[in-house]
Amino acid sequence: MKLTAFDIQNYRSIIHTGWRNLSHDNITALIGQNESGKTSVLGALYSFYEGSITEDVLRSDLSLPAVSCRFELQRKTLIDFFDSQCLDEELKTILSGSTHGILTRAWNSDRSSRLYLANEEVLTFFERKQVERAAIEEKTQNEINQLFVLAEQLFREMEQAEELRRMAQQQLNLAGKELLQARRTLKRSKKPDERILAEKAVQNWEQEYTKAEADFTIQVDRFDKSKQRTEELSGRISVCKASNEARQELEESVKVLQAHNQLIKELDHLWQMASNPKEQKSWYQKLQVAKSELEALEQHQAACREADSFQKMLAWQVLDGRAYSEAVEWVTLQQELAKKYYSVYDLGQLLMEYIPVFEFFEDFSSLLPNRIDLEDILNENSHTEGYKAARNFLLVAGLNADFFREKNQRILKQKIENLNSEITINFQDYWSQNVGKDSKICLNFELEHYDYTHPEKSGKPYIEFWIKDKHERLYPKQRSRGVRWFLSFYLELKATAKASMVSRVMLIDEPGLSLHARAQEDVLKVFEDLKDSMQLIYCTHSPHLIDTNRLYRILAVQRAHEEDDTSETLVLESNALYAASTDTLSPIYALMGVKVNNQDFIKAQDNILVEDTLSYYYLNVFCKLAGSNRIPAFIPATGLTNLPVLANIMLGWKVDFSILFFGEYRSDKTLKQLAESFFFANEEEMKRRVIQIKQFEYPEDVFSTLDFKKFVLQKREGITQSNSEYVLEQGLSRTILASQFINFCETRRVQLEDFDDSTRENIRILLTSLTK
Amino acid sequence: MAYNYSAMSPDFRDIFEKQKQELTQSLQYASYIQKALLPNDQVLRRYFPEHFLLYMPRDIVSGDFYWVSRKQQNICLVVADCTGHGVPGAFLSILGITFLNQIVDRSAQLKASEILNALREHVMKALHQTGSLSEQKDGIDLSLCVIDTEAHTLQYAGAFNPLYLIKNQGEFIELPADKMPIGVAAEQEKSFINHQVQLHPGDQVYLFTDGFADQFGGPDGKKFKYKPYRELLARLSPETMAKQKAELRREHLEWRGTQAQLDDITIFGFRYGS
């Protein structure tokens, strides 16, 4: 997996860099003035990997940092990194189509952080799921509330029905009693008139009784129905009650946790502000107790959240008409599935295991020592002086403990001698400085044993290091700090590259600060050698640590307002270097000056000034492809408008040159400016020096559409306009396309014959124009 | 789901019939538009005084189309077959005609292979084709020729569809097509090959789609195939253009017999310099 871009927010002086691409060939240089924020970029990337930040990283406006890194999956898709059984079907489709992964680490106010998979489609998926769930929960809560209103109404109705039933019962009892009494009276009545009256009374009460009986039946029925409805609701109500209780419990646990966090903050403040050790100790102890309780509270809150979610889903299902037991079963299954499925954070954490290891390369505390006990190395005693450098030395030499267990001293000495010459040869590939006139330095190590002068270690083996040249043999400490630094740096990088198969991103802050310019260029050589085994990102303001032929490796770092050290940090990609300040670009300008002196970049004759570095790259490649005998020195300006300035400089250096323009109309303004202020209307001189290639608006138009897609774009889609119009319309980086093309040509050994007729003819037209 | 028409209720059958009628009318109207986009007989006659066109769409609208344009002394002629037939093919044919007009209009010099290269770019862009495995591989098979009436040359480039040239003396020449479509293919796009031949008065040129040769029929229900097709053209070549067309139609109908027409059929033939 390869780191291809980063996006940093709210980290020290950085507010938001936006996505910034790293160089495709694994070496990226951050250039900029002091205090511009270069180290913040490295720090942010390292914090992304490590997860921890210090207080000073936070911005004064308390906005929280977040760092995103984009990784190219190199012929894999995201789904290959996860257990597909733990993925939702829709998510599987999304992940199957993703050839890159974005990881974002966002920090909280307590400086803890959460890592998540931040590919746009993945985030959209999880956000949608969350919105759907929130909608269900809201709907369920509304239904619960409505149910409670209904239940209250039913309960009142039942009470009323019960009262009416009770009254009807009383009425019936009364009518029954009165009827019984009337019948007895009738039985006792002998006289005719009394009997008539009694019979009438019986009739009356019989009617009353019948009526009361009917009324009672109605009220009983009404009550029964009301009761039945209430009973029917009771199951649902108990589920809803449980849901409300779970919600209240969750709200309570959130409040408790918030209060507890506040308490920890206050205790932390009191501890830091304590005026004496006793008070300090007391606050510290209280703080520790509070912190120890925090985990339990967090666990409780998580449990409450789970219970709330369970009850809410259960209520949703029951209110939807599902039987209680069936609903419990369904919700339990859903909860289990949800637990089984990866969250966006799980995905982030899992992918993190596959990304390269980020290492922050600080200045070397461990320089190569004069000697070190073998025992200290074998026991990994890291506190011993020079342990790290010595260990690296042995690792690069391919030695382990077994090597030193060789009993036969003669064989051991011979092996050491062989190794010494091999290591020296490797080192000399990178360290090009001579000591004295022609003597190159050599590294040596020897295995010795302590003698009687060290009675406490007598007989124990130690390794002795030497840095030799033609004339003398000196201990490392007798050599300059620059030599020792470079040696340790070389060993550290080589050892890292050799130690593990895991890919690495090395973050290096100001490498070779104390080195001579030549040695700084040697640092670049080491980078070049290691770029296939690791990615290197380094900060520098040294021109000797920049390769002028590979300006696409540069990210310029500067403040938004040049004069204001407190303004935000901006990071500009190589295709936007024109927007960087002169001070930021000073290493590049310095470098061009240095190269002029070397006569490596500009020739005495046959120089052609071109619009930009892209024209420079393409033209050089075209000349090489065409096998031209005479390749002019193309000198890039930083845009059309800077061509007259460059022409003036060339004039000042008294070198012969021509100026090349692509396109028919877009160069008009610059040509006019040149005519007026450079050639002073001398048309003949202008004709001699200016080459205008009208057929192609930009160098990219030299390719036929098919070849542009195949060699430059390396993508298949329909292009119906000119190549340059397409690049502009799609907002593509011309720099990246140019470097892609150069890489493609180099790695595939592309020949002129590989291009189609149309491109070949265009290259011929172009080169003929240059020759003229 | 298949419906049994006879088992439908009368009401439902009425609705069904009405919908079918509406659909047919709509397609009929689409076919008028398509015909309007194709060059009419008057135009064809002006550029090719002695020619025939056998144009037999399988459905109401066709995935085959033919197109002609003149630029200075050059006449550009295309006979094309879009993926599918019927409505989808017709849509693509309209795109093809539009793009051809644009490309030829903007080209300073007409080179057959360059026109096809540009047409492929337009089709890929319009259909958002990027070569990914999952995408639809819609495209156009065609043969294109550019006849220079002053230099008496014929340039040809083809996507799957070849061009037949029968010389005045009877020699049969096949200009082969590239095995790639106008549209995205499995392999990275390559430039189409530009063929050029000299034309003489009386030479006959045939551009066509695969509908005729791919038609099933005959006693064994097999494809007509290209070898008999070439032989048929060679045999008919001495005849007048009208006779050739009539014979080709008759041969097709005879071969097809009771079988349904499999694909759209287009054959364009002309006699040069008469």
Q: What is the pLDDT of residue A431?
A: 65
Residue A139 is encoded by which pair of tokens? 């709907």
Task: For chain B, 274 residues long, give each residue's pLDDT as a single digit of tens.
Answer: 445 666 777 777 788 888 888 888 878 887 888 888 899 999 999 999 999 999 999 988 889 999 999 999 999 999 999 986 678 788 889 999 999 999 999 888 899 999 999 999 999 998 888 887 777 778 999 999 999 999 999 999 999 999 999 998 889 999 999 999 999 888 889 999 999 999 999 999 999 999 999 999 999 999 999 999 999 999 999 999 999 999 999 999 999 999 999 999 999 999 998 4
Partner-chain contact A718 B122, CB within 8 Å: yes
The chain B residue lying nearest A708, using CA atoms, is: B189
Q: What is the pLDDT of residue B252?
A: 96
- A461 phi and psi, to 5 degrees? -80, 150
Partner-chain contact A709 B189, CB within 8 Å: yes
Which DSSP helix (H) or strand (E) runs through A295? helix A277-319
Partner-chain contact B128 A717, CB within 8 Å: yes
Partner-chain contact A719 B184, CB within 8 Å: no
Q: What is the pLDDT of residue B61?
A: 87
Q: What is the pLDDT of residue B205?
A: 97
- Tracing tokens 């220079």 back to the chain, one arrives at B148
Chain A CB contacts of B118 under 8 Å are 705, 720
Partner-chain contact B129 A718, CB within 8 Å: yes
Q: Out of B117, B130, B191, name the one closest to residue A717 (CB).
A: B130
Q: Which of A42, A9, A47 is nearest to A28 (CA)?
A: A42
Q: Which of A396, A439, A367 is nearest to A526 (CA)?
A: A396
- Residues whose CB falls within 8 Å of the CB of residue B241, separated by 6 or more in sequence, listed in order: B50, B51, B52, B269, B270, B271
The chain B residue lying nearest A709, using CA atoms, is: B189
Q: Out of B121, B127, B184, name the one closest to residue A705 (CB).
A: B121
Q: What is the pLDDT of residue A550?
A: 75
Partner-chain contact A705 B118, CB within 8 Å: yes
Q: Is A748 on the interface with B (CB under 8 A)?
A: no
Residue A249 is encoded by which pair of tokens? 């419990």
Chain A interface, mutation test: which of B189, B190, B192, B195, most A Cβ atoms within 10 Å?
B189
Partner-chain contact B130 A719, CB within 8 Å: no
Partner-chain contact B131 A716, CB within 8 Å: yes
For A484-531, give the secondary structure using H, E and C. Answer: HHHHHHHHHHHHHHHHCCCCEEEEEECCCCCCCHHHHHHHHHHHHHHC
Q: Is A716 on the interface with B (CB under 8 A)?
A: yes
pLDDT digits (tens, 9 = 90+) for A268-304: 888 888 888 888 889 999 999 998 898 899 999 999 9
3-class DSSP assignment, residue A222: helix
Q: What number of other Cβ atoms are within 10 A of residue A426's Cβ?
A: 15
Regions of chain A where pLDDT drops below 50? 435-437, 594-599
Domains of chain A: 1-118+344-356+502-591 (3.40.50.300), 140-341 (1.20.1270), 365-500 (no CATH), 602-771 (no CATH)
Which DSSP helix (H) or strand (E) runs through B8? none
Chain A CB contacts of B126 under 8 Å are 718
Q: Is A683 on the interface with B (CB under 8 A)?
A: no
Distance of residue A506 Cα from the nearest chain B Cα, in angstroms: 35
Q: Which of B167, B194, B188, B178 is nearest to B113 (CA)?
A: B194
Chain B CB contacts of A716 under 8 Å are 124, 129-131, 184, 188-189
3-class DSSP assignment, residue A381: coil
Residue A689 is encoded by which pair of tokens? 């020096």
Are residues B4 and B33 in contact, defined by beta-carbon separation less than 8 angstroms?
A: no
Chain A CB contacts of B184 under 8 Å are 716
Q: Out of B121, B127, B128, name the one closest to residue A719 (CB).
A: B121
Q: Out of A715, A720, A756, name the one closest to residue B121 (CB).
A: A720
Chain B CB contacts of A719 under 8 Å are 121, 125
Q: What is the pLDDT of residue B238?
A: 94
Partner-chain contact A705 B190, CB within 8 Å: no
- Tracing tokens 């240059």 back to the chain, one arrives at A770
Distance between CA A670 and CA A644 in Å, rounded? 7
Query: DSSP per residue over A529-550, as a string?
Result: HHTTTEEEEEEE--GGGS-GGG
Q: What is the pLDDT of residue A259?
A: 93
Q: Out of B125, B130, B190, name the one closest to residue A706 (CB).
A: B190
Q: How many Å is the Cα radius of gyration of chain B?
A: 20
